Structure 1
């Protein structure tokens, strides 16, 4: 569980609600037509932009913003170096019964144990890496689009509210509700964009970069294991992927 994301989302909404309650009732900021325009309009525009399965997939990918399943790269490197040592001593078959948690690393080791050509292994793993990056980029694209669309839908709601207000200027009782739609839709659009959609898109992009680094480490590690590279040399090579302050023996 990514505690930072949860604190950010919950804390952001708590601060907004607390600020509202200090000056008025929370019900004054609840407007169903405004919510329909902003949230409904954003979702509909997103469905126009992408196919329905892609949008559902993006929502599934977005759960990664709240779940932190990533393994520190230095820990992954240590695991690979240990596997390398076992392979150098007992051959690749010595890794046959190893229990490996990371599925990407496990597939690479399995192919190596099965005698697949090392170049073929690297090629297959790089294809998997490109495919993963493409899927994640689609998820980022969906949320970036929603982040850009929500404020625009808020502006549409504002225009609708202003038109309604101007058409009923002779009826003072209808000016308030129309003005509420005009202002609250802008508020809803800004909150959804800058507290939900854009931060999630940025968090997912950061996660993708970290995952790409981890997979590149695994690919280089598998390459070193299949070639029988010395453990120290392999560790130094893999540590090049890690920030200097994280390079601990």
Structure 2
């Protein structure tokens, strides 16, 4: 669990509740089931219409990554690349097969398998770059679910406010019903703006940051594997990896 991200969400919600309390308002006034149904349901419906069920489901599942720590990978990656390079130069590409036994990353496994199969460097680069491009498109489609939700939620909140005011107008002759209608109107706007700016857009931006790091990692791996296929010295490969990291890490 990325406790910093979770703490940020809790802090944002606590600040809103605390501000309501400091101003003398009732915290219960922020709890309006009708407004919640309008904003959450309306936003989900709009995002579903735009993206389809498959993409929506992938986007919802991807949200867990925003609250998962992303451990540093550079040192371990360099160590692995150095090991592959030295093995390939000393013992030949066939000996790289032993690294496939416990390899959990399918991208790395694909690259090493192609080295073992003696795929030439340019073909290897083409295949790995195509894989990276496909991965990026797939991930960005899922991230756009949260960007879309961040765009629709405030507008749905305004719709909720209009519905609440319509209820007020219908019940002008019954003062007892006016308060609940006004409450739904204002709280729906709070829900819409809050959902967009405290949840959806921060999650989208966090996921984009994580995607950028993953793409950097895959680009470094592709470059390293191509260099190994060309028989380059491990020191030269490390210098190239250092350049990638300094300019993109």
TM over 0.5: yes
Corresponding residue pairs, total: 246
Aligned residue for 1:211? Answer: 214
How far 1:245 sits from its partner (Å)?
A: 11
* CA distance in 2: counterparts of 1:239 and 1:100, whole angstroms: 23
The correspondence of residues 53-92 of structure 1 with structure 2, limited to 5 A, is 53-69=54-70, 71-92=72-93
How far 1:214 sits from its partner (Å)?
A: 0.5
The equivalent position to 1:130 in structure 2, one of 105, 111, 133, is 133
* CA distance in 1: counterparts of 2:9 and 2:143, whole angstroms: 18
Q: CA RMSD in A?
A: 1.9
* CA distance in 1: counterparts of 2:189 and 2:143, whole angstroms: 24
Alpha-carbon contact 1:77-1:217 (below 8 Å) kept: no
Range 149-158 or range 74-83, more displaced: 74-83
Aligned residue for 1:195? Answer: 198
The correspondence of residues 72-221 of structure 1 with structure 2, limited to 5 A, is 72-98=73-99, 99-221=102-224
User: SS where residue 97 of structure 1 aligns?
Assistant: helix
How far 1:15 sits from its partner (Å)?
A: 2.8
Range 167-176 or range 143-152, more displaced: 167-176
Alpha-carbon contact 2:216-2:248 (below 8 Å) kept: no
Query: Do residues 231 (structure 1) and 226 (structure 2) align?
Result: no
How far 1:174 sits from its partner (Å)?
A: 1.4
Alpha-carbon contact 1:74-1:239 (below 8 Å) kept: no
* CA distance in 1: counterparts of 2:203 and 2:120, whole angstroms: 40
Segments of structure 1 that go 5 or more residues without pairing to the other structure are: none
Range 224-233 or range 163-172, more displaced: 163-172
Runs of 4+ in 1 over 6 A off after TM superposition: none
* CA distance in 2: counterparts of 1:12 and 1:159, whole angstroms: 26
User: SS where residue 218 of structure 2 aligns?
Assistant: helix
Alpha-carbon contact 2:120-2:229 (below 8 Å) kept: no
Segments of structure 2 that go 5 or more residues without pairing to the other structure are: none
Aligned residue for 1:48? Answer: 49
* CA distance in 2: counterparts of 1:212 and 1:61, whole angstroms: 16
How far 1:17 sits from its partner (Å)?
A: 2.9
What is the TM-score of this pair, normalised by structure 1?
A: 0.91
User: SS where residue 244 of structure 2 aligns?
Assistant: coil
* CA distance in 2: counterparts of 1:114 and 1:17, whole angstroms: 61
What is the TM-score of this pair, normalised by structure 2?
A: 0.91
* CA distance in 1: counterparts of 2:15 and 2:116, whole angstroms: 55
How far 1:101 sits from its partner (Å)?
A: 4.3
Aligned residue for 1:29? Answer: 30
* CA distance in 1: counterparts of 2:5 and 2:209, whole angstroms: 13
